[in-house]
Each structure stands twice: as C-alpha cells, then as structure tokens.
Structure 1
Amino acid sequence: MSDFVLPVTCYALSGEVNIAYQTMGYGPVDIILVPGFMSHIEFMHELPGYTAFLRRLSTFARVVTFDKRGQGLSDRVSDAPSLEQRMDDVRAVMDAVGSLRAVLFGNSEGCAMSALFAATYPERVSKLILFGGYARRSDMSGNYEERALQRAKFWGTGAMIKTVAPSLATDPDAVAQFAKFERLSASPGVVKSFAQLNAQIDIRAILPTIRVPTLVLHRKTDVQVPVELGRELVSLIPDARFVEYPEGDHSFVRGDVSALLGDMEEFITGHRESSSSELERILATVMFTDIVGSTHSAAEIGDQAWRRLLDTHDQLARQMVEKHRGVLVKSTGDGILATFDGPGRAVRCALALGTASKQIGLPLRAGLHTGEIEIRDRDIGGIAVHAAARVMAQSQPSEVLVSRVVTDLVAGAGLKFSERGSHELKGLPGRWDLFAASM
C-alpha cells in the first residue's frame, strides 16, 4: 500500500466561468456534495476528518466535490452568484463527469440551492440529502446585514470556527488552520457580497414541490444553524425523513460521524455497512503507543497530578493523529490505538507524538504494522491489530518500531530505519524483522 493519493482538481465550464471539481471513488451511484458558505476543494483535505468522510462515502459511490464560482479554486466573479447561477454550475459539473442523475448532498448554505435544483430538475436528482440547512436565512437570529459586515471584518482570523466547529475553537492550531481556510476560500469583499445575497434566501414556497426522496439531517447542538430551522425545513418537504443528532458541530465531520454516514448510506443504498453480517475490511497502518513506566510515574506523583498529565497526553494524541489524517480508535489507558490510510503519515505521527509527549515528561514507545483490519463499529480487529501490539511490545523507550512491510511501503518517503533484528511475536507465525524509525 502506498500513501493515499488525493484526487486531482479538474475544471468544468459553466458559461464562461470555470468551476473547480474533484471526484473520488467508482461506486455505481454519484453523490454531488454542494458546499456551504466556504469551500476550497484542495485545502479542505487538510482539515481533520474531511478526507476520511469522503473516503467512507466513496466505498459505495462516486463522490464529486466542487467550489462555488467566486470561491476556492473556481473563477473569481464580480458579484455573488444567484441560486440560478449556482444551479447552472452544478449541472455543468455533472455534465463534465458524465453524471446523468445523482444524489445531491447539500451542506448548510448549499441546502437551499440543492432543494431548488431537485425541484427544478427532478430527472437529474435521484435523492436529496440536506445537512444543517434552512429554508430562510432571515430566520437566523440578529440583524443579518450587521452580521455580514462583522463576518467580513474578522474574515481570515479563524473566527468562524466558533460556530462552524466549536469543538475545536480552543485549539490554537485548529484556529490557525481554519483562518487559512477562510483566506483561501474567499476574500473579505467576496464574503460580504455572499452574505448579503444569502440574507435574501427564502425557498419556503418551492419546498412543497420537491418530489424526490429527501433526507434532512441536523444536529441539536448546531451553533451556526439552530435545529429549529432544520425541523421547519423538513416540515415543508412532502414525505421527507428527518434525523436529529443529539450532539456535534455544524461541520459534518465533527460529531457522531459514523451514525451520520450510516444514515446516508442506508438512505442511498437501502442498507448500512455496520448492520451487515459482513465486516468491512480495509488495508490500514495500525499504530499502538504506550507510556513508558506509567505505573511507577502514577505512584510517584499521585493520582490527581497523573490524571492531569494523562489528559494533556490524550489531547496531544488527538491533535497529532488528526494532523496526520489518522483515525483515533481509542485510548488504552496509558496509550492509544490509531489507524492511518498511509504508512508514511503513520510513522511521522508516531515520531511527532513521541517527541511532544517526551517534552511533557511522558516517554512513549510505539509499534506499527500495515495489514488488513476489520471495522467493528467504533473498534477494529484482525491480525494486523495484534501484530502492531506485538511490535510495540518489542519497542524500547522513546522508540518507534515498525514491521518490514511498513519499511517496504514508505521507500522514498524521506524516513530512516535501523535494523532491530528478527523476532518471534507471541501468537503470530514465523519470525518478524523489525526496524526503528527516525526522520
């Protein structure tokens, strides 16, 4: 397995405007993801959870993402586009990828245009999914014109993370990354014009004309768009289904993502993978870490101080795993279990986490192996998981130990490895060549 290659950006011509788009997956159904207020289809892959979300959808569909005209990698325009122009852009992207009919997945602001498109072109929409949406923007609290001016004033500082992804708002690195996302997505002037146009959105009159199967999804704790607006939205669409999640952010990648993806898959395909008798099996790099001498340290400094130190470690672990686009499966008490779709990122994460943890007085050891794993709801299983645990058990303090398959797969990635001999690993057949990783 090599590091996952991000999709290539292409362009569709909508009139005289170039619309940037990407595709991922080869499934029998197409999903067109209609973006919310911000988008930059290349940089969004740097945001925690985004690529993993699309990859999960791509296991059963071809996923198409695009930047609205005036934003991201699409052509800049003098005025904010109308809903009609945005519909033209969606149709242009569908034509460019050869999609005759697709599932529209509207997100936030993109819900209004998606609903209008489904009502206007039902022959091109098989199903409609609306997440975190609303029927009328003026229903949002406060003077929207004033809020638009404030949004433009603070644009590029990461201020929107407080309502889009408040679960990350106290993380300085996440705020800085979100600030860059804002700047790459659009300029303050464009933001102001988009916000002013959005204030006029009111699609209540057309919602009763939607005839395609519709699923409305909303989180009860959505700070950006109150859940009451999602309830109003579904009440106006004939036979629409509503799913309300008890917690999570306005961003669809922050919260109970597994439940959200399961509901989407079941709505689109008629079944969800997690309910199937067949376990999902994927190739992944598994990483186990362990705090060296944790029992002795806990006894030496006391339970309360140890708990605070562990909390700091756990926060570092989450940040490092997300930064390297991994999935934190669980905490093991004095370590973590995580998976990665690329072995190079997994090794770099283990090295970075080891350095950061050592700085707070908690030396780590880590073990990594690449192989097939079984996805079991929120846990994982399989021989590869056991192998990674056994590799870690051979690791010395402040050492990242990997199996030979990992070294073979990251050739040319700029990582260095030192031989640590051939070992018998408990419960696993044969002898295993192990290597210590370094930058």
Structure 2
Amino acid sequence: MNLFDWLRPGLKIKRWIFIGIIGIMFMMIGTFPLLHLFLIERGILDYFFFFIVGGGILLILAVKRGFLSILKILDFPSLSKRQKIDQKLYEKRILNKGPKVVVIGGGTGLSVLLRGLKKYTANITAIVTVADDGGGSGVLREDLGMLPPGDIRNCILALANTEPIMEKLLQYRFLEGQLKGQSFGNLLIAAMNGISDGFEEAIKKINDVLAVTGKVLPVTTENITLYAKLKNGKVIKGESQIPLKAKEFESPIEKVFIKPSNVAALQDAVDEIFYADVIILGPGSLYTSIIPNLLVEDIKKAIKESLATKVYISNVMTQPGETDGYSVTKHIESILDYLKLDKIDYIFANNKEIPKETLEKYILDGAIPIKPSKEDYEYLKKNNIQMIEGSFVDIKKNYIRHDADKISKKIIELVLKEKYTIDKKRIVDYYLLKEDIKKK
C-alpha cells in the first residue's frame, strides 16, 4: 500500500495524521530544552539530521503497522489479500454519503434486493411485515408470543457485514428433534427478545451485533393477523393460508385486511419514510408481503405525504393463489388502491426471455411470466408513470430471482439525478410538512 494512498480525499485520515503531527511537535517543543542540555554536552547534537530522518521513518512505520495490527485484532472483515484497507475505507465513506433508501415489503424478494442496494449506499432502511404465521416463525409466534422473526432475519443477514460461516450458521435449520425446521437465526432473535425490553429493542441490538449496513425495522411491534376475503365470499385467516385456500377454492383474492386494524406503526419507520430520498415497494408477494405494510395507517399516510421518489418493482412471475393472471397494470392498481394514491413515479419490469427449461417447473406450479404488454404501456402513459424495462432477471440453479445489482444501480442513478436537480425549496417543504404532521 502506497503511503500517498492514505492522503486520498474522503478517507477522513488526513485530519488525524495532521493532529497527531501537531501533538508530536508540541511535545518536542516542550522537551527540547532538556534534550538540548543533555545532548549538547555530549556532542551528539551534531548528528541531528539523522535523528530527524530516522524518527520520521519510525513514526510512519509505527502508524501504518499499528493500524493494521489493530484491524487484525478486531477481525476487520475486509482485511484480505484482495482488498486494500484504504480502498475499503474510501468506499465506506462514499456509501455513507449515498441517498436515503427505504424498502418496504417482506419475503425472499426484499432480502435479495437489499444485497444489491448495500453496494451503492449505506443509508438503507428495510421496513418489514410482521404478518407471517408459517414455518419456524409461526412456531415461535405461537409458543413464545413474539412477533415472527423470519423475514426480519433474512433482511438483517442481507445487510449484515458478517463472515460467510456466520451467515451459514444463522441460516442453519435443525434437521431433527423438537427444533426440526427451525433456523438458528430465528432462535437468536428469540433469545435477544427474551433479554430485551420488547421486540423493537431486540432487533436494534441484532442490527448492532451483526454490523448491519443501514437498519431493519418491523412495520409495527403489535401482534397482527392477516386476513383475505376471496371473490366467493370466504374469509381466510393467516398469511400462510391465504394463497393455499385461494387455490383450493379456485377463487381469487378480493381484498386483504389486518386485525386489529388500528395498530400503530413503529415511529422510527415513519420517520425514515418521511426523510427518504426514494421509497421502494417490492419485490415480493403482493398481498402477503407488500400490502400488509400498507394496511398500517401511519405507514400509508407517511408514504402518501413523503416527497420521496416512489418506485415499485414488479414481480417476474405471477404467484399461484395470489396473483394468477395479473398483469403489470393489475399489480400497480392494487398497490395504488390500498395506498389511496393516484400514481407512483417509476415501475421496474423485466423484459428478458426466461429459458424454457427454467420456466417448465414454474408453469407446472401455475406461475407465468409477467411482461409489459400494450395495455400496460397505455395505462402507464395515461397515468404518467414511467416504466423502466430491462433484463432484471438472475437465474441460478433454475430459480428465478431479480438481478439486484442491475436494479439497485438503476434506482440509485434515478434518485441521484432527481435529488441534485431540485432546488433548496424541497428542504423547506420537508421541514414545513414535518411541522404540519406534528401539529395534527
């Protein structure tokens, strides 16, 4: 590592080097009379030049090697042969200046997107649904009376700066015994909940322990249950049962709602939405991951009143029992209906062809690709919603996922373009709007 690399802008190193040098100079001035008396009598002062040069070399070596030693002791995660410390510090400094991004949803789609976003900004807030009642989360919810940790766990791991072995450990699911099917990460959150003053504090501590980039917040700390009314009039209780029963009765979802209906949103979540530069809805299950967050009145109100750019990331495939036959337009209309909004700013949609061999198993399960159609273009144009199309699919081991890197990069580019072309009036608007909300 070149010494001059430490002097690059943005590292916040120069100021401390300068202060250190000033401190050394003060010490030298204070001790010089004593040293002068001691050295001049022995004739050593004649070699002052060698002392200055030698001292400088030793100082630089000590600072450089000492800094690296401290990082090793602290097990600094980026300390590797492939990544220079100075470059990592520089990147972190840039990420800390990135736009404020709020992502709302749940499920696998949300955690996939977060892994992409953290490469472009450190100012990320994931607001996660707590309506899950299936799998290991459902068991802990039933046994311990706590909020479901599953979706929150996945988002925390997506934003965490952990070693691969730690992530593997937290995602490990027990194969036998009473803990069969339960993940170690869920148990860790449950344990933290047990030693904390509530679920909110527990999640904050987990964020700190795992060095999360940004923060992960539950949409509410109150216990809620998701319901769905089907077209045939039947009412289904429980997030995990809704798509199953909709398929069984061959009746689409008419609407979803939560009980109790008047739950309070987490205040931190509301504040993050208010000060966001961009609010991203999705990707994820429309009725069981995204919309449950919009059923919390404070969240819906904050989104509506926020001046942030609003983005929806459309799913790549329809979901059996939930969005059968849904087009891009139908997804947007559903979200706007629950938000009571006229429009959102952007929608991201995939236009890449999916290989036949990958599609086969999805089609057998009842899912089909969601691709923009002529009707979608007409609807978006009429409602002044801008479509961002692209090859936004990442296929691994025949599983279809969003290409988080491509989507994240495009979103950040859009936000930066808008953020730095508006004038100072927006800052004033933010302040006045916040004061108005406080009065209400």
Counting strand residues as a fraction of each chain, which structure ranks higher?
Answer: 1
Counting helix residues as a fraction of each chain, which structure ranks higher?
Answer: 2
TM-score by length of 2: 0.31
